[in-house]
Amino acid sequence: MDENIQQNVKLSQQGVELFDSTFGCNMLIMEFKDRLREAMKKAGIEQKALKGKMGVSITTIQYWLTGRNKPSRDKIKRLAEEIKCSPEWLEFGASVELSGLSQKDSNVVSLVIPTEIKTVPLISWVQAGNWCAIPDNYPPGHAEEMIPCPSKCGPHSFALRVKGDSMDPDYPDGSIVIVDPDKEPRHNSDVVVRLNGEMEATFKRLKIDGPRWFLHPVNDRYPVLPLEGKDFTICGVVVWVGREVG
């Protein structure tokens, strides 16, 4: 391995931490925006060049780099191709790839995963509604895929793919959220709710005003839904979307 790149891998209560002396940072706990910035730097790609390759505006690139917004999974895959890193590392920080290493060296570092990272099932919005009622009765193999959860989450946690733009820009269409049914909902919690009688669960920001509860979309183009007089179940609180929530 190049002497300028020294890997120090250590086990701790927080999990496995991988430090790269070239970057001088803990690569496994960086947020998406930090991983994107580091990968662009290593690939030698400027914002304007990436804008052209991705077919997006310079403002969009800047939103990604400042953490104001996060691209969809499809865009993350395209980003990873352009900046020469793995999409899993770019999105979740759950694996590490360092270009310029020998194959032998890259095999050593690419499998480093935090010990506390668990996986949760990515399910449909209809399944999420059912999950509210019977969280322990989830049929194995019915998940679309298993998603790494770097944030602390309870044993009944699950993942959903955001549909539509009602929670944009905080939760763009196509992004993955992880929901913890064991976390207590509070004022301004982002929650997944099933309105009894509906097939699918819905995703909104909970607002509590005394005895009155409301579901607010982040995107003000959509109406606020008062919960007063409605029969509903809160399926869980969003704890992660490419970064820890709260």
* Ordered domains of the chain (ranges, CATH): 7-109 (1.10.260.40), 118-240 (2.10.109.10)
Mean pLDDT, rounded, for 99-110: 38
Mean pLDDT, rounded, for 95-124: 51
3-state secondary structure of 90: helix
Give the per-residue pLDDT at 30. Answer: 63
Structure tokens at 157: 């946690």
Confidence band, pLDDT 50/70/90 cuts, at residue 95: very low
HSE-CB at 237 with a 13 A cutoff on CA atoms is 17
Distance CA 66, CA 62 (A): 6
Cis status, amide bond into 169, omega within 30 of 0: yes
Per-residue burial over 219-230, b = 16 or more CB atoms within 10 Å of its CB, e = otherwise: eeebeebebeee
- Greater pLDDT, 87 or 11: 87
DSSP states of 148-211:
EE-S---TT-EEEE--SSTTTTTS-TT-EEEEETTSPP-TT-EEEEEETT-SS-EEEEEEEETT
Place of tokens 């009688």: 197
Confidence band, pLDDT 50/70/90 cuts, at residue 103: very low
Whether the predicted model's global pTM rises above the 0.85 cut: no
Instruction: Quote the Cα angle for 167-171-177, to 5°.
Output: 115
- Greater pLDDT, 42 or 244: 42
Cβ atoms within 10 Å, residue 9:
11
Give the per-residue pLDDT at 96. Answer: 43
- Greater pLDDT, 20 or 137: 137
Q: How far is CA 174 from CA 70, 158, 169, in A?
A: 10, 16, 12
3-state secondary structure of 237: strand
pLDDT in tens, 7-59: 333 322 233 333 333 333 344 446 788 889 888 988 889 999 999 999 988 88
